[in-house]
Amino acid sequence: MRIEKLIIRGKPVADYISQLRGLIGHRELLVPGARVVIINEQQQVLLELRSDFNVWGLPGGSADPGENIDQTIKRETFEETGLVISDVLAFGFSSSPEYEKITFPNKDKIQSFNLLFYCTKYSGKISFGSNESKSVQWFSMNELPAMLPNMQRTITAYITFVETGQFQLY
């Protein structure tokens, strides 16, 4: 299935969420998506410096029409980091309004529902040419930079999953 081009104010809008925003403005959207914790051989986690909040976060984002969740996380990771991930495994699900209700700097509001993944297999070269990431870097789990609360909560859930083996639901 392909997204049909929507014309808003005389301009074509290709991105699904942007299409919806063109129709409903800043009102809250319920958004399905995925987030991934990518771990390297040194047990560091890959973070991106987000351009919207100017703070660090995990790769991920919302699903496009016609995608399954595996396609979503792989596409979002490639767009934001330049890496191709494989053998992704689910470790949790996040939908708590406490963490997942977000108002973006442009006033758009969402509550996201994210399947949380982790992976240790990836290929490619780190790049951040999209307008979503200002930088992409590896960080020690013990020395994480300031992060969005929902992203920090995902790291905490991943650590709990590793320690307990239990699927994390919050």
Q: What's the pLDDT tens digit per position in 69-92? A: 999 999 999 999 999 999 999 999
**What is the overall mean pLDDT for the chain?**
90
What the block records as the tokens of 134 is 């200002």
Q: What's the pLDDT tens digit per position in 101-133? A: 999 999 999 999 999 999 999 999 998 766 778
CA 41 to chain CA mean position, Å: 22
Q: What's the pLDDT tens digit per position in 149-168? A: 999 999 999 999 999 999 99
pTM here is: 0.88
Go through the domains of the chain in sequence order and give each one's CATH number: 32-169 (3.90.79.10)
Q: How buried is 44 (Cβ within 10 angstroms: 0-12 exposed, 13-18 middle, 19+ buried)?
A: middle
